Amino acid sequence: MEFRYLGNSGFKVSEITFGNWLTHGSQVENDVASQCVRAALDAGISTFDTADVYANTAAETVLGEALKGERRESLEIFTKVFGPTGPKGKNDLGLSRKHIMDSVNGSLRRLQTDYIDLYQAHRYDFETPLEETMQAFADIVRQGKALYIGVSEWTADQLREGHKLSKELGFQLISNQPQYSMLWRVIEAEVVPASEELGVSQIVWSPMAQGVLSGKYLPGQPAPEGSRATDEKGGAKMISRWMRDDVLQGVQDLKPIAEEAGLSMPQLAVAWVLQNPNVASAIVGASRPEQIADSVAAAGVKLDPDVLKKIDDAIGALGERDPAQTKSPATREA
């Protein structure tokens, strides 16, 4: 495993982060989830990402149980706040001071830890003054409940505003968690340049485009039984944007490139996002423990410029690049 600094800080994270968004607490039995976490630890992953909204808090509980007994100082545990939790009452979502303070205490309890390494604003909240949100984060840092603060899916302008306030309030905004893959490159035009200017790193989710970049979905053929594209609990909706024959054919054109590089398709996808120097870590998930080793092998891989050009030629205009696609819901109910 290789490690990188997160933003303009002295905090290091593993290049591969284990995330339990679409699996733990909902789609995977708890004992299998624990086996996946154990496999991640055995493979050298020390960084774990979750959120209170995942499976309506159950994912945090599963992760806390799975990590119990590990040396806390050797782990980097990330979680997030914004989405609706609990009975989803009027103050059970957003980035108000009340919701943030209630949520951080709940996350600490479920994760069975005294502190969160990185506490993240899961989206931008247009209904709460940014000053209120950032003051709450500043207080959480001073209380020792979180060591660092990050955000997720914020635009370049939102990052600049948040970063300015964090400096004024005496803490550091060090990370952003966007979607990023060969097929979803919307952060490249604006978010990455702003982040480099501010000293903010990307911790990217869905580097395999919900599994499409694994190459297992073939043009003109139905999705394999039991795959994410057939999962009506949430996976099928997310992956549907890429289940077109032109996209699936472009992905198939990556296979000889991966073979030439001596990589599996998932390894090529994860290694590709890690070539961006502003990316500190790529989040991978697993529904089976044996899936972990394949992703971890992408750590430390250097792709030659000619390989990167071949990837661009294969994917071409199929990749989404519009920076306007980085967005948060206009209202909390959206």
Domains parsed from the chain with CATH numbers:
3-325 (3.20.20.100)
* DSSP code at position 222: P
Task: Please report the sign of the dihedral spanned by the C-alpha atoms of residue 200, residue 100, residue 61, residue 285.
Answer: negative
* DSSP code at position 239: H
**Cut 0.85: pTM above it:** yes
Cβ-proximal residues to 70 (8 Å cutoff; 6+ apart), any chain: 41
Is the pLDDT reported for residue 240 higher than 80? Answer: no
Closest CA to 315 of 257, 266, 250, 264: 250
Cβ-proximal residues to 176 (8 Å cutoff; 6+ apart), any chain: 150, 151, 152, 153, 154, 159, 191, 195, 200, 201, 202, 203
Supply 69's token pair: 């007994």
User: Which alpha helices (DSSP H) does 230-304 contain, by range?
Assistant: 235-239, 245-252, 255-261, 265-274, 291-296
Measured CA to CA, the distance from residue 203 to residue 140 in angstroms comes to 21
Q: Could you tell me what percent of the chain has a pLDDT over 70?
A: 92
Q: Where residue 28 falls among pLDDT bands split at 50, 70, 90?
A: low
Measured CA to CA, the distance from residue 254 to residue 82 in angstroms comes to 37
Supply 104's token pair: 């951080």
Q: Where residue 232 falls among pLDDT bands split at 50, 70, 90?
A: low
Cβ 208 vs Cβ 269: under 8 Å: yes
Is the pLDDT reported for residue 27 higher than 60? Answer: no
Q: What pLDDT, on the 0 to 100 scale, is given for residue 334?
A: 47
3-state secondary structure at position 236: helix
Q: Which residues are catalytic?
A: 54
Is the pLDDT reported for residue 229 higher than 70? Answer: no
Q: Which of 30-44, 164-178, 188-202 has the lowest mean pLDDT?
A: 30-44
Residue bearing tokens 């624990």: 34
Length of the chain as a residue count? 334
Measured CA to CA, the distance from residue 295 to residue 163 in angstroms comes to 32
Is the pLDDT reported for residue 130 higher than 60? Answer: yes
User: Which alpha helices (DSSP H) does 46-129 contain, by range?
Assistant: 58-67, 97-111
User: CA-based Rg of the chain, rounded to a whole angstrom?
Assistant: 19
Measured CA to CA, the distance from residue 226 to residue 212 in angstroms comes to 14
